[in-house]
Amino acid sequence: TRPALILEPGLAFGTGQHPTTRFLLDWLAMHPPVGKTVIDWGCGSGILGLAALLLGAKSCLGTDTDPQAWAASRANARLNNVTFPVYPPDQLPESKVDLILANILARPLMQLKSRFDAHLLPGGTLLLTGILASQIPAMEKTYAPDYTLTVETREKDWVLLTAIRQT
């Protein structure tokens, strides 16, 4: 059974109903990150990072540009009795992790590649969503050859890409 996640989404954040959030929650349930280190990039309410922690992640950091996200994520971490530090992107500690969860939009995901490179271990997994199927070629152009991209899930026009870091 899946662990129960208590969530107060706060002002500008969803509750996991959007297909892209469900893609990542389902992926985490199918591939529990037991013992892994994780970053939830663009954490919003913290739903993805909290799910990773409840499914056995060793640690998870959150980052978001929105101060309301920091407050919502921290409040939700307290509700779930987990440690989930949240930072503005420019204050994210220098660390290398096994898994990055990124449910943003294609353009910011392309702009963030160098930041992801700085934080993801070689062989690590980067989950990219918030992407339309029509944007897959642009994502491939941005991330290849440093990552091997696979379309993991597709619903309507939305996709989840799995990117495995090669270097």
pLDDT of residue 3: 76
pLDDT along the chain (167 residues), means of 10: 74 70 96 98 95 98 95 94 96 97 97 98 98 98 97 95 95
- Total structural domains in the chain? 1
What is the structure's pLDDT at 97? 99
Residue 143 within any structural domain of the chain: yes
23: containing domain: 19-165
pLDDT attached to residue 43: 95
pLDDT at site 13: 64
Residue 6 belongs to some domain of the structure: no
| pLDDT given for residue 143 in this prediction | 98
CATH number of the domain encompassing residue 71: 3.40.50.150
Asked whether residue 14 is assigned to any structural domain, the reply reads: no
Is residue 13 assigned to a domain?
Answer: no
Q: Please, which contacts does 9-12 make with residues 24 or more away whose CB atoms are closer than 8 Å?
A: 9/44, 9/45, 9/47, 9/72, 10/45, 10/68, 10/69, 10/71, 10/72, 10/75, 11/68, 11/72, 12/44, 12/66, 12/68, 12/69
Does 10 reside within a domain? no
The answer to whether position 5 is within a domain reads no
Residue 68 lies in a domain: yes
In a domain, 11, yes or no: no
